């Protein structure tokens, strides 16, 4: 989806700079600027989702972390490996 937004944004700017009337120029420029904003947010969203945790820790595991001990989920994963 983000790549489609990027292509459409570039296409809007190409159309903007090839139009001769002020109305068409303004319309495509506005769509291009909105596209830049939407494309940037789409790429940022993918970057954030890629670095986010997939599951959160329980209250007990958080308490163990505060005490300086590893969470139980972490210990189970090490035993399985």
Q: What is the pLDDT along the chain (81 residues), one digit of tens a residue?
A: 899 999 999 999 999 999 999 999 999 999 999 999 999 999 999 998 888 776 777 888 888 888 888 877 655 545 544
Position 75 scores a pLDDT of 52
- With a CB cutoff of 8 Å and minimum separation 6, the contacts of 61 are 71, 72, 73, 74
The rounded distance, in Å, linking the Cα atoms of 46 and 44 is 5
Judge if pTM exceeds 0.75: no
């Amino acid at each position: 989806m983000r790549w489609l937004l990027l292509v459409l944004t570039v296409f809007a700017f190409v159309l903007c700079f090839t139009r001769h009337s002020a109305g068409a120029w303004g319309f495509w420029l506005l769509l291009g600027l909105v596209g830049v904003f939407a494309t940037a947010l789409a790429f940022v969203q993918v970057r954030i989702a890629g670095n986010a945790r997939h599951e959160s820790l329980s209250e007990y595991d958080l308490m163990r972390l505060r005490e300086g001990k590893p969470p139980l989920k972490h210990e189970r994963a090490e035993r399985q490996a």
